[in-house]
Structure 1
Amino acid sequence: MGLNLQGRTALVTGATGELGRVMARTLAACGADVAVHYNTNEAKAEALAAEIRAAGRRAVSVQADITKLDSILAMRDKISAELGHVDIVVANAVIQYTWTSVLEQPEEDYRSQFESCVLQSVHLAKAFVPAMIERGAGRMIGINTECSMQHFESQSAYVAGKRGMDGVYRVLAKEVGPHQITVNQVAPGWTISERDRTNGTEKSEGYDKNVPLKRRGTDQDIANTVAFLASDLAGFITGAYIPVCGGNVMPAI
């Protein structure tokens, strides 16, 4: 049994990032057409879209400021004109910043995390869910983090943004469930990406020893979970927060 996303269109925000580009490639490999979102890195986005097109799927690179509703609406219109309606939305983009203690973290970092985690989720829902409701189907997938359950030192702004995102997704799941739209979150651990492979930094004894599987996961592990949630195999899963971290965090009942 395979994951068949043929005939569907996916949007991945932050698709030029370390995890985002593997998600885009994996969704395309499962048969989906893909809108490759970027904020500033147009060249990398277009290269990824060209790669997906060369593999036989339709793809387009699209720019948007994910913290602004009007920018996301303009992106939606471009995708609609070139690929048609969006069936799968993956909210992966997040603003990067320097982590430090609560007492030292600048106020603007809390604001940036709210805007890129909470408001991005709200804006994407406003832009894409109404058409999903009309079709009676759709997938909203947010990329959260294991940090939301850890609360380690220096994580406050990131955790605040991602826990706010979690609240939006859980409420949205209840609101749009009657329309057969699923809303779920994937929560990566500290994940091995292309950067680690290039730099030879895949191993981290301090982290690995606390993971039940005794290793870090990979970008492909995250992308596989996203593809599963996007597929018909996950049609009765909604409102879930799914850690993909080798058991490093375990939600309790």
Structure 2
Amino acid sequence: MKTVLPPKIDLNGKCAIVTGATGELGRVIVRVLAAAGADVAIHYHSSRTRAEALRKEIESLGRKAFVWAADITVEAEVLAMRDAVRKELGDPDIVVNNAVIQYEWTSVLEQAVSDFESQFRSTTLHNVLMAKAFAPAMIERGHGRIIAINTECAMQCTPSQGAYASAKRGQDGVMRVLARELGPSGITVNQVAPGWMISEKYREAGQERQEAYEAGVPLRRRGEDVDIANAVSFLASDLASFISGVYLPVSGGNVMPTI
């Protein structure tokens, strides 16, 4: 009998790009991908100091890292980022669309129309532009991973989530279509949907516990930011080579897609 070895997430020889890489979740995703062996292009919008610190951190692991600023809602800037990453690291094997702009959560009637439009651009259009920029090279190679960060809010649709949930549901539609369109070229397209995770800012403020929220979560606790990064790294790896079109909640069961 052939020996079955335990699975291991191995991204050595792979190049990833993470948008919104200087944010609370983005930083952890970058670290986990690099720890698994990937070189990483670090996208940021305005936090250059934080981006450079993250670059040095990744390089200390023996991985290559590259920093680039762009407005991910503007096609020309996304294409310029693609060209810069290609020159520095090569065409990415893994695209992680994590960047998003969030506005004040209020009722649909009170939310500014401009908030809905901007939320759409930073969420749905962001994913469209990244696919247009980076998928063609994946098609040529016959391999690639596109992973977008969604949210449990896309399923909850509770009061005050109008702008955010509608944009994320639009993203979901685009990603499902892309999964069908890019699948014949060997490219998987998936989404990871966090719950209300514990990140650095909550740890620093001593606010890890949110009892009202935890009471509704089947596991009766909040997850950690690294739980999201681990799901991303799994979907980026060969272990997930036959998984595509998935909306994967990482929320302790707080939301559950049904059949």
TM-score range, shorter chain: over 0.9
Shift of 1:152: 0.8
Alpha-carbon distance between aligned partners in 2 of 1:90 and 1:158, rounded to the nearest angstrom = 19
SS of residue in 2 equivalent to 1:246: coil
| Runs of 5+ consecutive residues of structure 1 not aligned to the other structure | none
1:105 has 2:111 as partner = yes
Q: Deviations over 1:190-248 (max 9, x none)?
A: 00001111000000110001100000010000000000000000000000000000000
Number of equivalent positions: 253
Q: Superposed, which structure 2 residues align to 1:145-164 within 5 Å? A: 145-164=151-170
Alpha-carbon distance between aligned partners in 2 of 1:27 and 1:161, rounded to the nearest angstrom = 27
**Aligned partner of 2:233 among 208, 227, 233:** 227
Alpha-carbon distance between aligned partners in 1 of 2:34 and 2:132, rounded to the nearest angstrom = 25
Alpha-carbon distance between aligned partners in 1 of 2:246 and 2:102, rounded to the nearest angstrom = 25
Shift of 1:135: 0.1
Match of 1:132 in 2: 138
Alpha-carbon distance between aligned partners in 1 of 2:87 and 2:137, rounded to the nearest angstrom = 14
Alpha-carbon distance between aligned partners in 2 of 1:63 and 1:86, rounded to the nearest angstrom = 17
**Same amino acid, percent of matched pairs:** 62
Alpha-carbon distance between aligned partners in 2 of 1:195 and 1:10, rounded to the nearest angstrom = 25
User: For the Cα contact (< 8 Å) 2:123–2:168, is it kept in 1?
Assistant: yes
Q: Superposed, which structure 2 residues align to 1:25-104 within 5 Å? A: 25-104=31-110
SS of residue in 1 equivalent to 2:96: strand
1:207 has 2:205 as partner = no
Q: Superposed, which structure 2 residues align to 1:174-253 within 5 Å? A: 174-253=180-259
Q: Superposed, which structure 2 residues align to 1:16-31 within 5 Å? A: 16-31=22-37
**Aligned partner of 2:171 among 147, 157, 165:** 165
Misfit runs of 4+, over 6 Å: none
Q: Letter of the aligned partner of 2:15 in structure 1? A: T
Q: Letter of the aligned partner of 1:157 in structure 2? A: A
Alpha-carbon distance between aligned partners in 1 of 2:102 and 2:46, rounded to the nearest angstrom = 13
Match of 2:4 in 1: none
TM (norm. structure 2) is 0.97
SS of residue in 2 equivalent to 1:184: strand
| Runs of 5+ consecutive residues of structure 2 not aligned to the other structure | 1-6
SS of residue in 2 equivalent to 1:36: strand
Alpha-carbon distance between aligned partners in 2 of 1:3 and 1:76, rounded to the nearest angstrom = 26
Shift of 1:96: 2.2
User: For the Cα contact (< 8 Å) 2:102–2:164, is it kept in 1?
Assistant: no
Alpha-carbon distance between aligned partners in 1 of 2:173 and 2:54, rounded to the nearest angstrom = 32
Alpha-carbon distance between aligned partners in 1 of 2:206 and 2:251, rounded to the nearest angstrom = 20
Q: Letter of the aligned partner of 2:54 in structure 1? A: L
SS of residue in 2 equivalent to 1:103: coil
Shift of 1:98: 0.9
